[in-house]
Chain A
Amino acid sequence: MASSQPNKDYARKLLKLMLGKDQEFRPGQWEAIETVAVKKQRVLVVQRTGWGKSLVYFLATKLLREHGAGPTLLISPLLSLMRNQIEMAERIGIRAITINSANQEEWKAAEEALGINTCDILLISPERLNNEHFLNQVMPKFSGRIGLFVVDEAHCISDWGHDFRPDYRRIIRILQILPKSVPVIGTTATANNRVIADVQAQLGPGLTILRGSLARESLRLQNILLPRQSERLAWLAENLPKFNGSGIIYCLTVADTERVAVWLSKKGFKAAAYHAGNGNQIDREALEQAFLRNEIQILVATVALGMGFDKPDIAFVVHFQCPGSVVAYYQQVGRAGRATDRSYGILLGGEEDEEIHNYFIESAFPDVDVFQAILQQLEKSDGLSIYKILENVNTSKSKAEKALKLLEVDGAVGKTMDKKSLYFRTPNPWTPDINRMNQVTDLRRLELAQIQEYLNHQDCLMMFLMKALDDPYPTVCNRCSNCRGKGLPKEVSPELVIEAENFLKEETIIIAHRSFLPSGLFPGQKRRLPAELQIEQGRSLCYCNDPGWGKLVKQGKYTDGYFSNELLQAAVHMIVDTWRPDPFPAWVTAIPSLRHPTLVADFSKKLALKLGLPFYPVLKRVNNAPEQKTMQNSSMQARNVIGTLAIEGKLPDGPVLLIDDIIDSGWTLTMAGYLLLKEGSDQVYPFTLAKATGNS
């Protein structure tokens, strides 16, 4: 244990050990280390990604640990890719350990290390701060001796941050209780003046702020407006080879990442989709590693590709769709060119962007009546599972989870600390903070307007970004396409556009079958559907928000009152030429609707005729049910279908093609199929014209 005060010379030696002999402190790094490790105060570090924020807290940890302090607690929402930083820390004998929900198999070793004081940094997500295992098993292992708090993504402390994370309110309250003698580092790559002032107000006047320039020296920015997806796909195929290296393509939705990745693979690129959504789990860690080793040339990613991801030689970051804010754009494009002389940041704007962003903004907060309905359920009990809540609250599971998360952070709802995870009402009073929610929503709209402005900006693009982020030293970059007056071409070859258009039309969109019934549908009955009552895998012709078929489906349903021949041709083509279900259906039926009695039925009759199959309308509505799309969760949806559909007459022999216009949750088709199969039908193949979308 060193006895003297930590000093800069010694810290410099450690730095060289970590990064190499010829490395020195960057401006601000030692000041930050000194504030926490020597003065034991609080510091907010606002520096661009790649500046070396992790070096600051690794060295500070080392110095504090040598003077007998307990381990550092690092709280970050994005733990997935700190692996290379962790290796760097090991060079100065700092052992960092991550505990998160995904690495349960490592918990035991982590706890042992904490027990014998060989863990120097414990990395956790904010959710852990309210987790039973963490509080009752992990913290006591080192008697809660936290030597240093590190709060990553510290802009989330402010409601004015671009990234709203309810868990950070918990962090604020913890830091407010924490004695001033425990040092704290907050780090962020992007915080404008307003956010910094807000963080200062929350964490107290003793906070030192260290802020650097946001300019990125190697990045060449360019914006290209190409409304149609086919044009952008063509542009990618034509221009990506020019970049001479690996890169990231950002999309707004999971479906888009998969679509772009398939297209690029078809065109001979080594590309893969990277996202955190939609059940079809992908091994993100394996993809990251393959990308780091350049076995994958292009990652087509949603925002799930987090900030911790650090690949120094990324040659380009292309946005297939426009992100929601300048901050998000700056952070994502900043992945490029960290250790290269030249890199590209290309923003392609598309016609679908606005609709997607509006959906994101509008679905950010559950409605106030959802909060109230949930509380009403909880007030009657001493604890309910999410499924029990959903049986009586008409909202989607994800919205209910969002609402519960906010209620939990507000102290209105608690969660039991055992495996059952029951939610319960606390005695704390609660009123909906509508102003706060509106404030966040308004902020998102302003941010959206600002990135639109950037997209059309005619002067230096880097300077626009720097000014928008309140950079203290904005300068002209002399590298962007506006500064140089030239860049990559906007024009794309018409042949490629046609090819891309055909590709979009041929896309396979699968309707997955469900094998579990929602809870509470048939009380006392097993939730697992027996195999013989499950429908087959089916197909959708397109996604609702697709500019091509999707537009035609919406027009047919909401404007014309019938579906066009173009859609009919496309459906026949898909069923006969690409899908080819085996054994092939022997007859056709449709989901009936009292609201639009002829819409789907007429289309299905025509389709049956084209397929040379008979059409039998065996499904009937028995009650005028509320529209299925007003049912917000599985329990409600399934109940709504089962209570209002019935089978009339005798079922024909052979497999059946079951048709509906738009599939959302899939419960209508699952339950209609269940009824058919229960009546003794052969295979049921679901087919819909469009699939609703809207998730990242």
Chain B
Amino acid sequence: MTISHDSQVILLLCSHLGLPADPEFPPFTLRDWNPLAVKLQSASMRPSDLLEINSIGLQSQLNLTEEEANRIANLLQRSGSLAIDLERLASLGINVTTRVDSDYPERYKQRLKGSAPSVLFYAGEKALLGQPGIAVIGSRNLDEVGQACAEFVGNACGISGLVLYSGGAKGVDTLSMKAALSARGTAVGVLADSLEKAIRDPENRSAISRGDLCLATPYSPSAPFTVGTAMGRNKLIYTLADYAIVVASDAGKGGTWAGASEALKAKWLPVFALEHSLMAPGNTLLIQKGAIPFPHPFMGDRLKLYEWMENQSLSQSKTETAFQPGLF
């Protein structure tokens, strides 16, 4: 495993690796890191330059407070334990990419900009992250129509060479992912927790080994599930895909609702909502707010699903803004 010095610095500053649960100097959140990244850029410095400067130098060269400088200096001192952690993760099949790396998913930088996670852990074929594909979003508990839809989309993606994006959770995520993989397709799961555990599952592991699956997470690979991480993760599913289908959503509450509303508002991509007679109340509301109805059963040629979605969404304007080059 090789890792650039820039990447190493970002991991030291922005990840929890090697830190206690309640560290004296907490790692940088994106809100903390982005201003520092801007300061570095305007001083024509790279993140790795931070390794060469002591606390006093940091204060003068980057115009930081003593407190900020000490925090940086302290976080940077754990490169020894970071090396031990990274080696262990690599031996388990988990790699890492950061915003400075050329192989970091371009779509995150374009669509999320400063909100793009600074660090991404992943297992499997990283090239899948951001390839043409459809995201399936929904709840863990599904009715029969929802199940059928999840399997239909997964299968359609599988046979037509599209990546099936999901959150890798139980319910709609797993159903659609399995359908895609069993059609010899590919899938990406952006996990909110427990990447280490997820890759122990024999089906996941074998798909990863074949190069058909990539599981990724911005959180520590051993992190347990929390509502907060699940919410923060939702936009990372939407922003990799070309189209998203919300299978079932509560109205006005819950992670699916929040994520779909956010995606509709940000206009990262066209969002569809499953429409049928027994649909969840949230689906109706999402359609009112601009989600495109997705019929069940789908009557067209499943090999042409992507084109169908493209046609349905022509009316909507996509907002692909230019990416700011050089953001760490």
A residues near B (Cβ < 8 Å) are 70, 73, 129-130, 135, 139-141, 143-146, 149, 170, 173-179, 181-182, 379-383, 408-411, 414, 417, 424-429
CA distance A176 to B83 in the complex (A): 8
Task: Give residues of chain B (174-194) contacting chain A, Cβ–Cβ below 8 Å.
Answer: none
> How far, in angstroms, from A409 to B3 measured CA to CA in the complex?
20
Q: Is there contact, CB below 8 Å, between B205 and A427?
A: yes
Indicate whether B86 reaches chain A with its CB closer than 8 angstroms.
yes
User: What 0/1 pattern do residues 138 to 181 of B give for CB contact below 8 A with A?
Assistant: 00000000000000000000000000000000000000000000
Q: How far is the CA of A51 from the CA of B19 in the complex (A)?
A: 38
B83 and A414 contact, CB distance less than 8 A: no
- B211-235: which residues lie under 8 A (CB-CB) from chain A? 222
Identify which of B20-28, B259-267, B275-283, B317-325 touches chain A: B20-28
Q: Is B80 an interface residue (CB 8 A)?
A: yes
Query: B202 to A382, Cβ gap below 8 A?
Result: yes
- Cβ 8 A contact of A177, one of B3, B24, B208, B209: B3
Contact call A140/B199, Cβ cutoff below 8 A = no
Q: 11 A-B residue contacts at CB 8 Å? A: A143-B20, A143-B74, A143-B81, A144-B77, A176-B1, A177-B3, A179-B83, A409-B91, A424-B200, A425-B205, A426-B91
**Complex: A567 Cα to B116 Cα, angstroms:** 80
Across the interface, which residues of A come within 8 angstroms of B79, CB to CB?
Answer: 146, 178-179, 181-182
The 5 closest A-B CB pairs, nearest first, are A144-B81, A146-B80, A144-B78, A144-B18, A140-B20
Complex Cα–Cα for A428 and B18 (A)? 23
Q: Indicate if the CB atoms of B78 and A145 lie closer than 8 Å.
A: yes
Once bound together, how far apart are the Cα atoms of A179 and B80, in whole Å? 8
Known: A179-B8, A427-B199. A140 touches B18 (CB 8 A): yes
Are B92 and A411 neighbours in the complex by a CB distance under 8 Å?
A: yes
Q: Does B5 contact A (CB under 8 A)?
A: yes
Q: How far is the CA of A146 from the CA of B83 in the complex (A)?
A: 11
B65 within 8 A of A: no
Q: Which of B8, B19, B77, B205 contacts A140 (CB 8 A)?
A: B19
Which of B23, B90, B205 makes the CB contact (< 8 A) with A411? Answer: B90
CA of A145 to CA of B8, assembled, Å: 15
Q: Is the CB of B202 within 8 A of A182?
A: no
Given contacts A144-B78, A182-B80, A414-B92, 9 further A-B contacts (CB under 8 A): A70-B77, A130-B88, A145-B74, A145-B78, A177-B82, A179-B83, A382-B201, A426-B91, A428-B91
Closest to A144 in B: B81
Which listed residue, B51, B200, B208, B209, touches A382 by the CB 8 Å rule?
B200
Which listed residue (B80, B87, B199) contacts A170, Cβ 8 A? B87
A178 touches B83 (CB 8 A): yes
* B206 CB–A CB distance under 8 Å: yes
Residues of A within 8 A of B206 (CB): 379
In angstroms, Cα B25 to Cα A145, docked, is 12
Q: Which residues from B are CB-within-8-Å of A129?
A: 84, 87-88
Residue of B25, B84, B200, B222 near A139 (CB, 8 A) is: B84
Residue B14 at the chain A interface, CB threshold 8 Å = no
A residues near B18, Cβ cutoff 8 Å: 139-140, 143-144
Q: In the complex, how many angstroms separate the beta carbon of A552 from the nearest chain B beta carbon?
A: 50
Report the bound CA distance from A181 to B208 in whole Å: 35
Q: A140-B18, A179-B5 are in contact. Are A427 and B93 (CB under 8 A)?
A: yes
B85 lies within 8 A of chain A by Cβ: yes
For residue A144, which residues in chain B have a CB less than 8 angstroms away from its CB? 18-19, 77-78, 80-82, 84-85
Determine whether the beta carbon of B199 is less than 8 Å from that of A143: no
Q: Which B residues are in CB contact (< 8 Å) with A177?
A: 1-3, 8, 82-83, 86-87
Contact in complex: B88, A143 (CB < 8 Å): no
Nearest chain-A residue to B208 (Cβ)? A427
Most buried by A among B2, B51, B93: B93
Could you say which residues of chain B place their CB within 8 Å of the CB of A176?
Answer: 1-2
Q: B78: nearest residue on chain A (CB-CB)?
A: A144
A382 to B23, CA, bound (A): 33
Of listed A179, A408, A427, residue having the most chain B CB within 10 A: A427
Q: How far is the CA of A170 from the CA of B85 in the complex (A)?
A: 11
- Residue B124, interface by CB 8 Å: yes
Residue B69 interfacial (CB < 8 Å): no
Distance in angstroms between the alpha carbons of A225 and B1 in the assembled complex: 51
> What residues of A have a CB within 8 angstroms of the CB of B23 in the complex?
140, 143
Q: Which of A146, A382, A417, A427 contacts B81 (CB 8 A)?
A: A146
Closest CB in chain A relative to B220 CB, distance in Å? 11
Which chain A residue shows the least CB distance to B17? A144
In whole angstroms, how far apart are the Cα atoms of A146 and B23 in the complex? 16
Q: Bound state CA distance, A397 and B67, in angstroms?
A: 55
A143 to B15, CA, bound (A): 12
Decide if B84 touches A426 in the complex (CB within 8 Å): no
Q: Does B123 contact A (CB under 8 A)?
A: yes
Output the nearest chain A residue to B91 by Cβ-Cβ distance. Answer: A411
Contact B84 A135 (CB under 8 A): yes
CB neighbours of A143 from chain B (8 A): 18-20, 23-25, 74, 77-78, 81
CB distance from B172 to the nearest CB of A (A): 22
Name A414's contact: one of B8, B20, B91, B124 (CB within 8 Å). Answer: B91
| CB of B160, distance to nearest CB on chain A (Å) | 26
A383-B200 contact in complex given A427-B124, A428-B93, C-beta closer than 8 Å: yes
Contact A427/B123 with A145-B77, A381-B202 known, Cβ cut-off 8 Å: yes
Distance in angstroms between the alpha carbons of A426 and B200 in the assembled complex: 7
Give B28 Cβ to nearest chain A Cβ, in Å. 15
Q: Known: A177-B3, A177-B86. Is A170-B91 also a contact (CB below 8 A)?
A: yes
* B residues in contact with A428, CB < 8 Å: 91-93
Counting chain A CB atoms within 10 Å of each CB, the highest count among B5, B87, B208 belongs to B87
Pairwise interchain contact A174-B83, C-beta atoms closer than 8 A: yes
Complex CA gap A414/B222 in Å reads 14
Cα–Cα distance between A178 and B93 once the two chains are bound (Å): 19
